[in-house]
Structure formats: structure tokens, C-alpha cells
Structure 1
Amino acid sequence: MITPHFMKRIISRLKLVIQFIYASIGFYPTLISLLFFGIAVLMIYFETRGISKALEDELPFFIISHGETANMILSSIATGVFSLIVFSFTMVMLVLNQASANFSPRVIPGLITSKSNQKVLGLFLGTLIYTLVVMVNVRSEHYDTDLPGLAVFMAMCFTILCLAFFVYFIHSISTAIQIGSILESIYKLTLHKLRQELEQDEGKELPALFDNAKWQLLDSSHSGYMQKVDKNAVIELCREHDVVLEFLQPLGHFVIKGLPFARVAGQLKDKDAFCDELNTQVSYYQEELAEINYLYGFKQITESAVKALSPGINDPGTAIKAIDYLTDLLIVRMRLTDEKIFHDKEDVLRLRLDEVSYPELLNQCLGPIRVYGRKDPVIVLRLLNLLKNLCLTAIAHPERLGPIASEALLIVADADDSVQNLGDREKINHMIDALNNSNLLPRSLPKLSL
């Protein structure tokens, strides 16, 4: 007998499998290949009904009636499209290798999931499959007419379409490898995910329950990166058991089997059953996609900036662009509360997800750039300008000014130790004066000595 718990487990696993398949580079190529196979089978069926013979008088230029000509055309199409497939997949691998070497390995999942390139590769594969199916049926004894002429003509049309999209593919792949395009894509995905989080954010303060309740720890049944939680299912589970659940680590962090990863407040009658069902709603996998967790977008942009500042790459322009994107994302993140709590449909508190706090996020983003770019006055000025923009936005969120001031002190201290040129130090002091004159920081920043 199929129990509700078993069905929930199956549904949870199906969601995870679908997510993996959708993020795979073979998702659209597989779907489009199956579509073309279906078209080929359908065309062969129509050929058995004499569609080519019926159209031969009306469309003589479109119907191929010579067997050797049809074989030559189909053979040429199969060879040419196969060459396109090999070249295209080689280009994709080269792009991924170059992105990993020059930017950050974290950006590779985002490049793989590019749907436009997947569709083009799917068109190539589908055309090859269609052509092979038609080739097998040329001069088949099952036809009333000599050749599947219309099916051969459609293979020619698909080939012309492949050539047109091959030009688009070359343009797309050459654009995708540019760091500006990669950063913009990550920025847009992260911004979209942040806006989704803002829509779901209840904006409520953390209740006293989390300080006063008696908590029961729950051990993890897996070791791995806890990436996703089905919030609606977990809230419903907590409502059924009448408990409040809190995850002890933010999503994306590594949890170890046998160690606490969550805790519950309330009378939990069957701990094992609760944990077993909870684990079906938690997904563990390795990919770091910004559309799943906005923190990965911050991380990828930061790592791209750090890689650009390395002596081997030496591309401060990319680092500046990354800082500009981080400025906008940090401003949007400022409006998101650090306490991610969720209530059920009866407005009863049921779930709290541990969240990377705003001060910690600031340090994770600005710390590496500050360390690797502290000798470059342009980077220092850009970081101080970022903090100035955050201060202006923080007028509506005064609790954010303290962490901003702390990061500013770190940047100024590193600049004081690393920037030697007096002209550069004077420019940095002008930016420090602008920050101090805004009267927004809780304490004034020290100026560099001249």
C-alpha cells in the first residue's frame, strides 16, 4: 500500500531529478532530438500513404524522385551535420575550459545551462537523427512510390536551418566567453533571485521564542552541501507535528552526517518519523547556481573580480565592473531582513532558515577584493565609492551603517599600508572626506597620512 509519506518522498525526489535534468547541458538537445525523431517517423508514415506521389505533379521541384540523388543528398547532409555537431561541442568545451582558467570555476554551471546554445545543439542532433531515419527508408519496399521525396526535401530544409543557426551559435559562444557578458548574466540572475526573496520575506522581527524555547537538536542524515529546502512542504510538516523548526546553517553550507543541522521547539512525539520526512524535503548537490541561491551570485562575482586582479590576469577593468554590480546587489540585499522566518496558513510561526547576515555578506564580498586590490588606488577608490552609495541607501536602514563603517575602516587601513604614492593617497583622502561629510557613519574614518 502506498502511504502519504512514500508519495511525498517520491514527489520530493522527482523535483530534485527534474531540477538536475533541467540544469544539464543535454536537456534541450534530448527533447529536440526526440521531437525530430517523431517528425521523421511521422513523415515516413505519410510517405507510406503516398504523400510524395500526390504532390509530385503540383510541386515537382520539391519532390526528389531519383534514388542516387536522394542517397547522395542524405549522405552529404549526415556527414556535414555530424561535422557541425563535433565542432560545436568542441567549441563548448573550449569555452568552459577558458572560463574555468581565466574567470572562476563557479561560473561554469551558468554557462552550461545557457538555453539558447542548448537549443542550437539540439537542432543539429535532431537534424542528424531525422536524416538517418529517412536514409534507412530510402527505396523501402513498403512504399507505393519509389522514394520518400518530400522527407528528403525536408531534410534539406532542416540542413539550411542548421547552417543559419550555426552562424548564430558562433556569435553566441564568442559573446558568452566575454567576462562582461558572464558578469552581466550572473548579476541579472542574482538580482532576480533577490527580488523573489524580497517578495517572500515577511519582514518580521525574530520572536522571543528563539531565545526562551526548549530546543531539541536534529542530526543530519547526509554529508554534503544543503542547497535547497521545500519551504511549503516543511511548513506543512511542522504544522502537522505542531512544532517550530530552525535550520542551524544557511543554505549552501556543508553539513556533516550525524551532527546537528536543525532543531525543533515543541513536543515532538515521533522524532525519527519527523526527521525521515524532513530529509525528503532537503536537497543536497554540488552545483552553485545563482537562480537557486542568491549567495552564489555574490560569490561568483566576487571571485571573478579577485581573479581579474591576480597578476596572471591583471584586468582591473573587470574588477571595477564587478564592484559596480556588487554595489547594486548589496543595495537590494539591504532591504532583505536577516531573519528568514515563515508562518503557516494560520499565521503560526513554523520555520526559520538560517541566513548569512548582512555584515558577513559584506565581508565575504569586499574582503577578498580589498586584500587583492589594496595596492591599486583605482580599486580602493571604487570600494570606498561602493560604501558611500551603501551609506546613502542605508538612511532607510540605519542598522546597516555599523557594518558599512567597519568595512570602510578595513579598506582605509589596508590602503594606508599599501598605497605609497602621495597623489593617490590624496585622492583616497578626498573620498574619505566625502564619506565623513555625509554624517551617516557612526564614527569618522581616519585619513591617510601625507
Structure 2
Amino acid sequence: MNKILARFGFLYQYIVSSIGFLPTVISVFFSLLAFFLLYLERHGLSERLLDNLPFMIITRGSTANMILSTISTGIISLTVFSFSMLMIVLSQATANFTPRVIPGIITRKSNQVVLGLYLGTLIYTLIIMVNIRSESYSESLPGFAIFLAMCLAIVCLAFFVYFIQGISQNIQIETLMEDIYEQAAASLKREIEEDTKAQLETIVAHGTWYPILSPQTGYLQSIDTQAVTRLCRKHNLVLDFVQPLGNFVLQGVPFARVNRPLPDSVAWVKELQAHLNFYREERSDLNYFFGIKHLTESASKALSPGINDPGTAKKAIDYLSALLALRMQLTDEKVICDENGEARLRFAKDKFDEILHQTLAPIRLYGKSSSTIVVQLLQLMRSLLYQVEAYPHLLPVLQRQAMLILFDADQEVCNPGDREKINESVKTLNQLEVLPEPLPHLKAPSLILA
């Protein structure tokens, strides 16, 4: 029973997050609305409205057919045009931004509502049109239902204008990066709230562990922690995921381990698999590291010679500094206990030094010859150093990354004026007096002005 509920839970998440969820719901609603109005029409709705609101009721069958045919063909054309334009915009955006930020545009709720309104209006119109041509309405037309179809067509035109405006705004890289940041920050804050600071260092270092092979290939994005905790308690064991969630795992390769042997490991792994969720999409709302990764890729793409957009890169670095400051508050592992307070689950996390290196390394590579990017990276380090007092174990990590930034700048930045600007940022960092050793200044020859 638990396996069935777990599968239904993952299926529910997949359906709700799908681009077709809202359009399907809206289309079903419009279909039910059409049948409900036809039911009311059979009980004299239009006849009663004809006396009080005659301008709302269509009385001629040829006029009704012409109106509904025009609406249906117009909505089809509107739908094709809208989403053809969306595909063109997305293809252009893919060439300028990292492709992994594009799915967020398609799955926006506003775009799904517009698509659902188009499809719902089309289905509603077709249902009414079919019933007009039936013998049931040889004497009396569903006039109010036809009038409502006209109103829905006008609403579709208004939403078309809204769709054009929304796409023009949502495709901007600033909007995309802000959405990525907000999703990743929300994910990080949830992690911080759930972080109990508990550790299993003694068991991990000195205990005997038995590997668990991955039941399938893919990106392990999330698990049903409550169900897996109950499963571990049932067998009185501790389950340790040796790879952070979001990593790619291969079938048959160890991805977790338990602290005691299992009598029937195959059956236990099958039971565990029912509570594991494998995604192919990198969703920053589920894993904050994907948000950091997408912002890093956006900054690197902006610094590439073909695009050369340092302003976008600087904004991405600002968002990264905020996310990294939040990440400093997390421990490098997550331990979940059962109802009795006994540790049952342990998740290894991407260590802060690894995250910081993977974030700064590509930006340093593409921006090391630009003094503005180097200064912006040093500003990121300054923001982190302001908050490092509560996390002194991270000081060597920040010291090393600052030295790497200066090493690349010393090799690539040749202009004396640019080197002086970098040295001013270095001086600001040293004035904080938190680093184990002061950062060295770049040798900047004096400027000779004629």
C-alpha cells in the first residue's frame, strides 16, 4: 500500500508540474460549462432572456453558425500564431542564454493559463456548434451560449495582448535570473529551516557499511523522506546516501549504503525504489545547487566572445553572492531522525568549497581579462567575508578563492589603471581583517601622462 501511495505521490508531482496540467483543467471546465449551458437551454434559458435582454440572444441559425465558425477558426489561428512566436523567441534565447533556463519560460503559469483559455474556448465553441446543427435545436437556438462564446473570443483577444507583453518581459535575462534566484533562495531557506545540525561522523568514519546499488539510471532529485525513514526504522538500520541529491547515478553503481547487512537486499531495494524520484530536468525549486549552476552558466555565457555582455555577468554574480551567503549557513550533511529521535537517514551535500570553486572557476576563466568582472568577484568575496565570522572554518576556503582570482588577474590584466582598481578592492578586503593572511596587491606601474 505504501508503494502505491508513493507512486501516486510522485505521479501527482509530475502531473502538477507539467505544462499540460492547467490547460487540461481549464479545458475540462469549459467542456462542463458548455454541457451545463446546453442543459439550461433545453429548459428555456434563452427564451426567458429574450424578453429582457434581446441583444444577447442570437435567433437565426445561419448567423449562429457563421459566428461560431469564425470564432473556432480564429482561435485556432490565434493559438498557432502565439505559440509559433513563442518557439521562435525561445530558439533565439537559447542562442544567447544557457538552454537550461529556457524550460522555466514554457512552464510559467501565466503561459499555461493563456493556452488553457485558447483550448477551452475552442472546445466550448465546438460543443455548442455541434448541438446547433443537431435536430434538438431546429426550433430554438442556444442563444445565450452563443453570446457567451462571443464574450470568450473577446477575452482571448485580450489575453493575446497580455501574452505578447508577458513573453517580451519574461524572455529578458534579468527576469530569468531573478526567477532562478528566487527559486534557489526559497529552496535554500527550506534547507536551513530543516537543518538540525545533527551529524553521524562517528558512525560514518568507524562503522561498517554495506553498499546499495542504484536500481536505475538518472538524476536522483528527491525522495519521500517520511516513507524512507519508516522503512529504515522497520529494518532498524541507517541509510546513508553517499552522493548528494541531484547527482547523476548509474544503474548497478553504489549510490547509498546501510550500516547492517540485509537478509533480502533485492526486495528491500525494490521497496526503497518506490520512494525515490528520478528527474531529467534540473529544477532549481527542488535543488538549490541547480539554481547556482544556472546562474553560473548564464554569467559564463554572457562573458563569451560571441555575446560579450558583462552587465549580465555582473548581475548574475550579485545573485550568486546572495545564494552563497545563504549556503554558508548550511552544514555539509543532513541527518533525519525517526519519531524516537534515532538517526535513520543521512544525505551528503555538496561541500561549500566545491560549490564555491565550481561557481567561480568558469567565471574566472572567461572574465579574468576584464577588470570589472575581477572587481565584481572580489566584491562577492567581500560580501561573504562580512558573514564569515560565524563560520570560521570557511576562512581558508575564501582565502584560497580570493588568491585564485588575483592570480588570474595578475596574468591577464595588463592595463596599469585596471590593476590599480583591482588593488583598491584588495585593500578593502584586507581592511576587514578577517582573512588568515592579507591578500597581495598586483604590481601596477605608475601611469605616465604626457
TM over 0.5: yes
- Taking the aligned partners of 1:145 and 1:356, their CA distance within structure 2 comes to 72
Specify the alignment match of 1:240 in structure 2.
234
Amino acid at match of 1:435: L
Q: 5 Å matches for 1:430-449?
A: 430-449=424-443
- Taking the aligned partners of 2:104 and 2:277, their CA distance within structure 1 comes to 19
Match of 2:304 among 310, 324, 346: 310
Shift of residue 15 of structure 1? 2.4
Cα deviation code 1:345-401 (max 9, x no counterpart): 111001111100100010111111111100110000000010011001111111121
RMSD of aligned Cα (Å)? 1.3
Residue 258 in structure 1 maps to residue 258 in structure 2: no
Q: 5 Å matches for 1:25-424?
A: 25-143=19-137, 145-424=139-418
**SS of structure 1 residue aligned to 2:184:** helix
Contact residue 180 and residue 295 of structure 2 kept, 8 A: yes
- Taking the aligned partners of 2:282 and 2:6, their CA distance within structure 1 comes to 20
Specify the alignment match of 2:420 in structure 1.
426
Shift of residue 18 of structure 1? 2.3
**SS of structure 1 residue aligned to 2:135:** coil
Amino acid at match of 1:66: R
- Taking the aligned partners of 1:157 and 1:253, their CA distance within structure 2 comes to 50
Contact residue 49 and residue 144 of structure 1 kept, 8 A: no
Contact residue 318 and residue 380 of structure 2 kept, 8 A: yes
Shift of residue 139 of structure 1? 4.5
**SS of structure 1 residue aligned to 2:387:** helix
- Taking the aligned partners of 2:159 and 2:294, their CA distance within structure 1 comes to 30
Shift of residue 173 of structure 1? 0.7
- The sequence identity of aligned pairs, in percent, is 52
Contact residue 298 and residue 316 of structure 2 kept, 8 A: yes
Amino acid at match of 1:428: I
Where do 5+ consecutive residues of structure 2 fail to align?
445-450
**SS of structure 2 residue aligned to 1:218:** strand
- Taking the aligned partners of 2:230 and 2:297, their CA distance within structure 1 comes to 38
**Count of paired positions:** 444
* CA 1:375–1:119: 2 relative to 1, 3 Å: same
Specify the alignment match of 2:447 in structure 1.
none
- Taking the aligned partners of 1:22 and 1:387, their CA distance within structure 2 comes to 39
Cα deviation code 1:187-224 (max 9, x no counterpart): 11111111111111112244411111111111112122
- Taking the aligned partners of 2:181 and 2:143, their CA distance within structure 1 comes to 50
Cα deviation code 1:155-213 (max 9, x no counterpart): 01111111111111111011111000000011111111111111111122444111111
TM-score with structure 1 length normalisation? Answer: 0.96
Contact residue 309 and residue 372 of structure 1 kept, 8 A: yes
- Taking the aligned partners of 2:29 and 2:347, their CA distance within structure 1 comes to 42
Amino acid at match of 1:221: P
**SS of structure 2 residue aligned to 1:295:** helix
**SS of structure 2 residue aligned to 1:443:** coil
**SS of structure 1 residue aligned to 2:220:** strand
- Taking the aligned partners of 1:29 and 1:93, their CA distance within structure 2 comes to 18
Specify the alignment match of 2:12 in structure 1.
18
Amino acid at match of 2:159: F
- Taking the aligned partners of 2:253 and 2:157, their CA distance within structure 1 comes to 56
